C-alpha cells in the first residue's frame, strides 16, 4: 500500500495499473509486474466489511431487533455497512470512494491473499506497480 502512495504523485501511472472498471457489472481489472512479467488481476466490487450481513446473527442485530421499528435492516446497513468506515481493510478519506479498497483487493488477489500484503519493502511494491 505504501507503493501506491508513492505512485499517486504520478497520476498517469495509476491509470496504467487500473486498466478497466465497469461499475454496472461490478468488476475491476488491474495489472501488476511480478517475476519479470505483467499479470492481470480481475476482481468483483464486493469488499469485506467489519460487520456481518443483516441475515447473520450478531449482537448488533439483536439490539436493533429490540427497537420497535419497521426499518431495522435499513438502520443496521446505514449504521454499520455504509461508507469507508465499514470496510475491513483499506479505507479512503472520502467515505464514498472505493478506489483504494478495490486496488488493495486486486493486489491481494495477485499475491494470493490479504495476509501476503503485510510487511515487505516499499521498493518491491513500487516495482510491482511500475515495472
Q: What is the pLDDT of residue 42?
A: 93
Question: What is the arithmetic mean of pLDDT over 1-9?
Answer: 69
Global pTM reads 0.69
Q: What is the pLDDT of residue 125?
A: 79
* Cβ-count burial 48-59 (b if 16+ within 10 Å, e if not): eeebeebeeeee
Alpha-carbon distance of 79 to 64, in angstroms, equals 11
**What ranges do the domains of the chain cover?**
1-46+100-131, 49-86
3-class state of residue 33 by DSSP = strand
Question: What is the arithmetic mean of pLDDT over 111-124?
Answer: 84
Q: What is the pLDDT of residue 68?
A: 57
Please report how the helices 59-66 and 72-80 are oriented relative to each other, as an axis angle in degrees rounded to 10.
Answer: 140
pLDDT digits (tens, 9 = 90+) for 23-75: 888 899 999 998 899 999 999 888 877 766 656 666 666 666 666 555 666 77
Amino acid at each position: 500500500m505504501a507503493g501506491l502512495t508513492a505512485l499517486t504523485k504520478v497520476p498517469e501511472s495509476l491509470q496504467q495499473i487500473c486498466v478497466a472498471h465497469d461499475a454496472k457489472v461490478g468488476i475491476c481489472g488491474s495489472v501488476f509486474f511480478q517475476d519479470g512479467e505483467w499479470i492481470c488481476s480481475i476482481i468483483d466490487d464486493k469488499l469485506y466489511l467489519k460487520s456481518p450481513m443483516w441475515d447473520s446473527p450478531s449482537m448488533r442485530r439483536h439490539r436493533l431487533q429490540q427497537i420497535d421499528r419497521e426499518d431495522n435492516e435499513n438502520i443496521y446497513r446505514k449504521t454499520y455497512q455504509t461508507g469507508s468506515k465499514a470496510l475491513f481493510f483499506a479505507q479512503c478519506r472520502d467515505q464514498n470512494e472505493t478506489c483504494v479498497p478495490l486496488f488493495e483487493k486486486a493486489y491481494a488477489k495477485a499475491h494470493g491473499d490479504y495476509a501476503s500484503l503485510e510487511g515487505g519493502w516499499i521498493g518491491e511494491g513500487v516495482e510491482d506497480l511500475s515495472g
